[in-house]
Structure 1
Amino acid sequence: MSYEDAIAALADPSRRAIVESLRTGARPVGEIADGLPISRPAVSQHLRVLTDAGLLTCASSGTKRLYAISPEGVDALRRYLDSLWGDALACFSEAAQSKKEQL
């Protein structure tokens, strides 16, 4: 999946809340839903979007499906954001150099 998919998936506040709830480790749908003000079916739909975007993994454990943050999916998003930060620093450096030359 691409960073564009990840950004689109995280645009929804409920999905960001789901990802936040998984920061401490894998959890089943019921536990995730218990902490949110939306229905369990809505949580399941959001989990599917996040999984399709590559941000979550889903593994079966007995009769439960455990969702967890996908390091690979988050890494793709991090690399994109790092590139933006690198661009911003380069622009800042260029502006500082230009200012220095004006003095």
Structure 2
Amino acid sequence: MNDFIDLTGASGATYRFRRRAVAGDHLPIAGNFALVTLVDGKVTVTTLGKSNDLSRLVAPTEPPEAQVYTRLNVARAIRTSEHDDLAAAYPEAQVIEH
């Protein structure tokens, strides 16, 4: 699994996410997150979300091969804008707020 992935929003903007290595092993900072699977180089986004504290994130566990990726965004307006852009680009993904 890659340590970094780039997800493209509906606007065409690209957002870089970093793989979260261990659940609960994250700084208490706000940001966006994505639950993704990567098969043969193809990224499938199953869940998108935003959180005021990524250290408290309890990510969905389905599908079991999925990995959590996070993107740090302290400013609420930026976090919300990026989340909305990504949600529009991946309509099949479950969208949650934490």
* Superposition TM-score, scaled by structure 1 size: 0.32
Higher relative contact order, structure no. (Cα contacts within 8 Å, ≥ 6 residues apart): 2
Identify the structure with the greater helix proportion. Answer: 1
Larger Rg belongs to: 1
Identify the structure with the greater strand proportion. Answer: 2
